[in-house]
A and B are shown apart, each in its own frame.
Chain A
């Protein structure tokens, strides 16, 4: 209801609230203890209040991450990162303490297709490769034919694939061999595998493993498709993190929403059949891309708005009440918004708390604590 009111008060209204939901695997055993969505796991170590009580079980040796995008690599990196590096970041104290007790020593990052189809980008891969006290462990057969395909790839994909090939296949020099021998933690990509079931322990309470279907690739490059071969393989693990994509959720019944693609249907950011309604960011295109992609995406929407103003499709002459009217409504309902200056108080407190222990900030983990500080 509030959305409809806001729209009436403004000349143009742009929704840009991203993708806070996640795609689920849709396999049996997904609800077992020890299975988490990357969205929740990332929310947990980043201090999102709704993820504070996640208490992920880190008592097993092997963790399997499903998905091979940047988020999957972030999860793997946090699971294996040496504590003395983590403790000077703004990771929550809660997560730091849990990771200090963690028994996880091996992380497999599993994808349906092959090395040339990974969704991650080179910066994140390089951070895994360079992670101290870890060594890579991959399956050479997975890289059959990749060296031959590399030269025809566009630059970003080429450099990424070359780094992967080097990490997986190249015989390391003496120094690197020594380093790998001493490493206490292991990570690796596993390709051509799709989850079919999360397997439980005899009491049917906790995760004991995951059953993966073995795929083969039909076609090549971006449009290659994973096709089931009928074979399966079981991997022992106690932690499964599914990182197969975020998903936008509809928040306003009056705004069209394509639930199949999980976006607001639009052309260049303009929502069709709705004057003055626009969208931007992941809500507009789906949850992919890096900062530059999303930035250009928002420039496109802004350009559409400017074009509509210039062509009079958007009528800016009709004075709209704007924020004053919305403030009045909130006031009437006893809603006290948090202003930027209030956020600055929260920011200052978190920064002070962090300074005391050598971190950029120590985050407040509940909305109550945040509001307490904001209202001071």
Chain B
């Protein structure tokens, strides 16, 4: 049971470990009380090399430190923007974010499993989100390169956008970002197979 929970979380774990400072409370090794390494607050500004679990020695390093983007300032001020992520299981996760935050990195910061395979370089569609209709129109028009990548996204909808291209502004207060459920039948040219 623990093993299958670990596998289920491993995707999210990989995201957290490879990209941002790990959020220990969501890590299965922490929850299973099998994290032997202590990540001190003083290490937050440096890449840290290793922490140990029961029988694995995991090494991580921080490639991109998104201190400016995707950080939840958490003070109530004029530049707070409240958004809600709805994850693949339907769970609502309200986040107190800041003007200027990037929707993809904000998700990573909070352990939300939004994949960003190409690291915001408009070379994939893995960060696709559905934007709440009231806020969709407030977003600037997508670059044609974003549209090209959206073509590749499974279960594309009218309100689909790439998370890595959305920057928070005050008008987006209350925006809901829903993660698409992963689909099995997905063809690059949009072909939908006939049910049989």
Contact = CB atoms under 8 A, between A and B. Distances in A.
Is A bound to B?
yes
Nearest to A155: B190
Interface string A131-166: 000000000000000000000011111011000000
A131 to B, nearest CB: 15
Interface in B1-60: 3-4, 7-8, 10-11, 55, 59
B147 A159 contact: yes
Interface string A309-325: 11000001000001010
B71 interface: no
Interface in A256-298: 288-293, 295-296
Interface in B123-164: 123-126, 144-145, 147-149, 151-154, 156
B62 to A, nearest CB: 13
B156 to A, nearest CB: 7
Contacts of A310: 4
A160 B190 CA distance: 11
A296 B153 CA distance: 11
B4 A309 contact: yes
Interface string B162-196: 00000000000000000000111010111110000
A243 B10 CA distance: 36
A126 B188 contact: no
A291 B189 contact: no
A121 interface: yes
A291 B184 CA distance: 14
Interface size classification for chain A: 20 to 34
B118 interface: yes
| Interface residues of B, dominant DSSP | loop
Q: Which of A121, A153, A288, A305 counts the most chain B CB atoms within 10 A?
A: A121
Contacts of A126: 144-145, 148
A252 to B, nearest CB: 23
Contacts of A288: 188
Nearest to A12: B7
A121 B152 contact: yes
B145 A123 contact: yes
A280 B49 CA distance: 30
Interface residues of B, number: 34
Nearest to A294: B117
A305 B11 CA distance: 13
Interface in A337-355: 340-341
Contacts of A324: 55
Given A121-B151, A299-B182, A156 B4 contact: no
A119 B15 CA distance: 31
Given A292-B154, A295-B115, A154 B189 contact: yes
A222 B189 contact: yes
Nearest to A158: B190
Given A292-B152, A305-B7, A309-B4, A156 B188 contact: yes
A154 B191 contact: yes
A302 interface: yes
Contacts of B154: 292, 296
Given A155-B190, A316-B3, A299 B11 contact: yes
A74 interface: no
A13 B144 CA distance: 41
Contacts of A306: 4, 7-8
A221 B147 CA distance: 23
A122 interface: yes
A121 B125 CA distance: 13
A281 to B, nearest CB: 14
Nearest to A299: B182
A300 interface: yes
B7 A157 contact: no
Nearest to B144: A126
Nearest to B8: A306
Given A121-B152, A300-B184, A310-B4, A295 B117 contact: yes
A121 B144 CA distance: 14
A292 B124 contact: yes
B189 A157 contact: yes
Contacts of B152: 121, 156, 290-293
A-B pairs with lowest CB-CB distance, top 3: A154-B190, A156-B151, A291-B124
23 contacts: A121-B148, A123-B148, A123-B149, A154-B191, A156-B188, A157-B189, A159-B148, A159-B151, A160-B151, A160-B189, A222-B189, A290-B188, A292-B125, A292-B126, A292-B152, A295-B117, A296-B183, A296-B186, A299-B11, A306-B4, A322-B55, A324-B55, A340-B59
Given A123-B149, A316-B4, A341-B59, 4 more contacts: A121-B152, A154-B191, A159-B151, A291-B124
